[in-house]
Structures are given as C-alpha cells and as structure tokens.
Chain A
Amino acid sequence: MDFSLQQDSPEMAAFRKEVRAWLQENMKGAEHLRWSASWSTRENDEEYQFRRDLAGKLGRKGWLFPMFPTEYGGGGLTVEHQLVIETELDRYGLNINHVFYTLARIVAPVILKWGTEEQKREFLPPMCRGEISVWQVLTEPQGGSDVANCQTKAIRDGDCYVVNGQKVMVGHHLPPDFLWTLVCTDPSRPRHENLGWLHIPANLPGITIQHMHLMMGIKNAVFFDNVRVPAKYLVGGENNGWKVANTHLELEHGGEGRVGTDPLVERVIEYCQQNEVDGRPLIEDPKVRELIADMSIELHTVSLMARRIAWHRYVRQPHPYGGAQFRYHQRMVRLRNGERLQQIMGCDALIPNLSVNEVVDFEYVVRSGPGQLHGGGTLDTDRLVFARRVGLGRPTTEKAPETI
C-alpha cells in the first residue's frame, strides 16, 4: 500500500526538478492572482489571459495532457509524470483542469475513445496544445437530469446535420470555440438508440448564445437555428450518442479523480488565528476547533476518494462505484462546509473578496454550497448510478464505462 504522491524514483525526482523550475519561471508575475475555486465568476481579463497563456505553454511541452499519445499532441508520458505535474501545479493552487479551464479535459479522452483516426488527428492536437475552449452543452429546458430525453434535433441533410433546438445552463462568461453536445439524430428510433454526439464549431451561422445569471454566476442558453454542422463532427458514429454520453458522464461524474489538495482548511485556520473574540483568537475556541475538525476530516475523505479514483483510472481499472459516490459525497461536504464557515466566521462568510490575496474565497464556498449540488447532474442521479453499479435490488451489477 502506498499513498505517496511525491516519493519519486531518481528519474522522477529529476523530472520534478525540471517541472518545478519551469513553473517558477513561468508563474513569474502571477503571484498576485487568485487561483481560486471562484474564478468562474470572478476572474478578470488579466487573470484569464495569463491562465490561458500558461495552458498553451504547458500544452506545447506535452504537460497539459501528459499521458496522451504524442501523435495526437499529448506528452506520451507515464502516470508518474502526470502525478509529478499535478502535484507541482497543486503548489500554486492549480491543477491541470484549473489551468485549462475548459471541458476539453473531459472531451479529449472521449474523442480518444470514440473518435475515428481522422477525428483524433484533427480534434485532439489543438486541445492538447491548450488552444481551444470547449463547452459541454447537454442540459435542455425540459430534460434536466433526463439527458437521454434529448429534443435538440440534428437531421442529416447531405454532408451536414441540420441542428435545431435549445440547451441551457451551460458554459461560463467567456466564449467557447466548440460546443460538445448530445443531439437527437433520428426521432423515430427508440430511446437511447436515437442519439448522436456532435463536436460543433461555435462560430457556425445560426448559433446564438445568451447569458443566464445563476446562483453560481454566469451560465448560458444556446440556441440552434438551422445550424448546418458538417458530418465529420459526429463523434462515435450514427445513432451511437448514448454510448459516447456514458463515457463522458463517467468522467464528468467523478470518474476522472484527482490528486490535489484543497486549501480551504489552511485559510480558515489563518482566519481564526488572525481574528479574536474576547481577546482570544478564534482558533483557541473548542467549538471552533470542532467545526474545523469536521471540515478538515470530511475534505480529507473527499480527497482520498478522488485519489483512489485517479489511481484506478491510471491503472486502467475503473472503480465500479467510486465516481458516483465521490461526487455525491464531495457535494454534500461542500454544502456542510458552507454552513460551518458561517458558524465560524459570522457575517464575514458572506462578504466577497475578504482579502486580496485569498486563495480561497469564503463567500464563494458558502454560495456554492447549494449552488453546486446539481451542476452536471443532480445528487439523485449520482445515487441512482451508485445503486446500479453496486447492484442494489438487482441480480447483476452495471459496469463502469471505460474511460481512458
């Protein structure tokens, strides 16, 4: 049994040195930026540009998709390399997803799994180089959790699919290059066999994007009005969209895992050391210590579950129920931690940007408590998936879809 993330072989120690030196050089001038969970609503243009530039630089070194084959623009490296890169980025409060800030971290593995050779060669290199931003465009107004009940039509017409319909609550406040989406390709076929998956260039005529102002910040409604999408953008083949969706959803719903740490507890401790009540720092208060202990323990169990999933993924043995379990647990823990922050910090927990260099934005943690419960699928869908994977009330268990 070995939980270590940083016990390197000599070769990996040398690689870590290289990555660390490279980051030191390339993170210069970024020390004042907030690499926080709240960036999706707070990030300014300077921050955004810096991060995208960093993604490009990482991508060109093969460090954005370290384990991807080099012929598609990846690093062709091992799981050990990936761990080194992720743990070094973690020192800056970043991880690869964080730097990239695009769904491509999920999209690229799905293309690697389901794309044709031609599609892999065309779609993957720009993603691996960190050049494009992709939005996942799945939710429909009537569909919600019932993703397979997809009403956006994509009807074949010559070399194109003609797309009509509407998606909601997708993306963020900065524009996409591609829309990664599930469509209904044949309304006459039975459920699950009537779907296709399209990788749609966002600049095609007939696409309108409209901001929606939500609890967690800006999301969008996307309207497709007779959008002609060349057929080469269909991923996974004719009427095979639901299988593609399964790989995508497994990755999105916790199956990706991660090895980073959450800086929330450290920041709360700092706050409690700096703030006094009755001449005594908050950190000396037994009740506060109990709240922080619960916060710390729960976050730690979340990160251990994520690390276990990452390991299962790296050794190519998907954990049967780990993704769904992790995702449910993580979101319930965030919800509880929001309340704990309010109990510890009082009104301060509701004031944004409490201090300029905060890595953690407490107000965002509080707000995202209820706000993050359903993004990408509700808690209830997580529990449904768990039940199927474990085989509750069923003689057989459902296997986790293959991810890469």
Chain B
Amino acid sequence: MDLRLNETQNMLKKVAADFVKAEAPAHVLTQWYLKRQTAQTELYRKGAGLGWAGMMLPERFGGAGASAMDCAVVFEELGRGPLPGPFFSSGVLGAQLVMEGGSDAQKKTLLPDICSGKDIVVPALTDRGVHFGPEAVQTRLTKSGGNLVLDGSKKFVFDAEAATSFVCAARTDNGDVALVIVDRASPGVFVTPHTGFGISIAEVRFEKAQVPAANALGGAGTGWQTVERALEKTLPILCAYQVGGCQEIFDFTVEYTRTRVVFGQPIGRFQRVQDHVVELSIHLDAARLTTYETLWKLDSGMPARASVHEAKAVASEGYYQACNYAHMVFAGPGTDYQHPLMAHSVLAHTLYQYLGTPLHHKHKMMDALYPRSGAK
C-alpha cells in the first residue's frame, strides 16, 4: 500500500496546474462559461501539444504510452479549472474508441492526427436524452451503393461544437449497433447547441449524411462492445476530472468561510456552515478514493469493471453534490457567472448525465458483481 503520487505524476500535475493558471485564469474562464464559448479548440490543441491527447495510447500511434494514473493526474488538474475543450471527449474517449474498434490500418491513419489535436473526434453515441445504453441507439445506418448513409438525431452530444468529426453509433438494417466516423463537414450533418442549464452540449442531426464505407470502425454488431471496452478504460479519467472539480470547489469554499464575514464573524465559525463543508469533503474524498482505487486496478491489470462503474457513479454524484453544498455556503454570490462555482455547477449537472447517470452506473456495477439470471 502506498497512496502517494510518484515523481513523474507530481511533475505532470504541476505542468497541468500551471497550464490551467496561465491559459484560463478565473476571469477569462468564467466568461467562456457565461458566453457559452466552451468549444475551446485552440486551447485543446495547445494541451495536445503537451501530450495530453491520446495520452494512454501507444507511442507508435502518436500517444504517450502513459498509465491511467498518469493521465488521471493531468485530468484532475484540468478539472480544477474546470478547463473546457474536448480534452476528454476527443483526447481520451474518442481516441480510445478508434483504438478499440479500428483496424490496424485505421489506427495508423486516424490516431496520429487525433493525438496531435488536429482532428477532434467526438463520440455521438445515444439518440435519446432519457437513457444511456445500446437500447438508446436509434440512428439508422443503411447502405447505398458503395457508401453508408446515416439518418437520425443524437440529442445530447458533449463537446459537439468542437468536433471535426464524430464517432457515431448507429443501427444497421438487421438491428446491430455499428460505429462509423463521420466528417462533421459532410452534407447532412447539423450541430445545434442546446441552451439552458447544461453546458457544451448540442443536438447532432444526420440527414442522409453520406459516410464512406471505409469509415466503419470494426464489424457490424461489435459497436456497443467497442464502446463498453473503451468506457471501461476511460471513464476513470473523466472521474479524475470531476475529482479535480470537487477539490477546487472544496478549496475555494474553505477559503470563503475564512474571509466572508457576517453577523460580526467569519461564516466558517457557524456550525451550520461547517456542516455543508463536511458533506462536501465526504463527496470529494469518496470520489477521489474510488477513482484512484479504480485507476490502480486498471494499471495493475486487475478486473475493474465494477470499480469503473462505481467510480463514475460516485464521482458524478460527488461533483454534483459538491456544487450544491458550495452553493449553500456561497448563497447569492455563488450564482453569479463571475464566480467559478457557476462554471463547475453547470458542468457538474452536465457530466451527471454524460455517458450515463449515477443510477445507470450503479446498475452496471451490480450487474458486474452479481449478474442477473438471463442477463448477458
């Protein structure tokens, strides 16, 4: 047992922390969230220049060959911003989908440009807003001559605005789920950002969008297995990003309890206020410990499926609740978009939904631990 970061990880952490401070100081970052300018592609490409896109992929494909823990350390610092941009969606999950589903030739062609940040490949998996899982893949994939044709609408695509292409899950004529890569500039691809409380989400519509047959990732019918394999390796990185968010919220909330004075004393002297911070800390540390343990399992080659789902449930719920408790402490000023809490809050609500809610992942965890009879 050793719960410390190693030397490399401490260095990665510092580089990422410095990057966030230099590139996205609070007064800049808060404006991005207020003006919904979160498709920060140039910022993302700078990060990719530091090796943060495709970080866990082998070097021969342009990756950095990093361990999951190394990658998570970087993402934890990005989450402290919370730095927007397709760092996870393209640089981690998108890249991993190609790695898991692509042929050798496809990997050689596609991955170097994903790892350099030039191509931003954003997953567009489920169609419906209400459910995550293969059942919610409804977009149709049909053959027409030598091409494939996509028809359908993905309601909740995170980082869609930043995409240069999408990894799209679609249903073939015989009901299988297939994955295809669709150029965003193809005719018939429409990206409509959502307004409202979510952030960085858009509806992506495919109206008879033509896709070259060579863009299919893996055989028909293997699509969702590819998604599950990629998620098992990458969800903990998203969790680490959420842990970073929780830590930042904890830190600035503790500081606020010292500096904000009402009724003649710092609010941190009030036990009601203290209670909020206690709950916040439990969500933070529960998220951190389940995430770290999962990363350790992945890096040690241990079975990790149940842990991955547990970590996603705990980290998503933790980030969400950390925001809520911080809102109780900050009251009015915390709802002002000038304060970073608002950036965290909109993002925490969005990531609560992204790739499945905590409840979804609790069921997945249970299925991994205690399979239901008749379950696959």
Contact = CB atoms under 8 A, between A and B. Distances in A.
Is B one of A's binding partners? Answer: yes
A392 B293 CA distance: 29
Interface residues of B, number: 48
Given A1-B2, A3-B293, 8 more contacts: A2-B3, A4-B1, A284-B372, A301-B314, A328-B282, A386-B277, A387-B271, A393-B257
The dominant DSSP class at the B interface is helix
B278 A386 contact: yes
B370 interface: yes
B359 interface: yes
Contacts of A311: 1-3
Nearest to A2: B2
Interface string B271-305: 10111011001100110011011011101100000
A83 B1 contact: yes
A393 B270 contact: yes
A323 to B, nearest CB: 12
A320 to B, nearest CB: 11
A98 B335 CA distance: 49
A14 interface: no
A262 to B, nearest CB: 15
Contacts of A289: 362-363, 366, 370
Contact of A305 (B289, B313, B370): B289
Nearest to B361: A293
A383 B258 contact: no
A158 interface: no
| Leading 3 A-B pairs by shortest Cβ distance | A393-B268, A392-B268, A293-B362
29 contacts: A1-B2, A1-B9, A1-B292, A2-B2, A3-B3, A3-B292, A286-B363, A289-B363, A289-B370, A290-B362, A293-B362, A293-B363, A293-B366, A296-B369, A307-B1, A325-B278, A329-B282, A329-B286, A384-B271, A386-B281, A387-B271, A390-B254, A390-B277, A391-B254, A392-B277, A393-B265, A393-B270, A393-B273, A394-B258
Nearest to B359: A290
Contacts of B141: none
Nearest to B313: A297
A390 B266 CA distance: 14
Contacts of A83: 1
A301 B281 contact: no
Contacts of A304: 286, 289-290, 293
Contact of B266 (A4, A286, A394): A394
Contact of B290 (A301, A329, A383, A393): A301
Nearest to A388: B274
A321 B284 CA distance: 13
B274 A383 contact: yes
B254 A321 contact: no
Nearest to B375: A284
A292 B289 contact: no
A284 B373 contact: yes
Nearest to A4: B1
A121 interface: no
B203 interface: no
Interface in B295-353: 295-297, 299-300, 310, 313-314
Contacts of B292: 1, 3
Query: Which among B300, B359, B370 has the highest number of chain A CB atoms within 10 Å?
Result: B370
A300 B291 CA distance: 12
A329 B366 CA distance: 23
B274 to A, nearest CB: 4
Contact of A393 (B267, B300, B363): B267
Contacts of B254: 390-392
B275 A325 contact: no
B269 interface: yes
A395 interface: yes
B69 interface: yes
B3 A393 contact: no
B214 interface: no
Nearest to A273: B370
Contacts of B299: 1
A186 B154 CA distance: 75
Nearest to B289: A304
Contacts of A5: 1
B359 to A, nearest CB: 7
A283 interface: yes
A290 B365 CA distance: 10
B5 interface: yes
A125 to B, nearest CB: 29
A308 interface: yes
A43 interface: no
A393 B366 contact: no
A2 B69 CA distance: 11
A212 interface: no
Contacts of B5: 1
Contacts of B290: 297, 300-301, 304
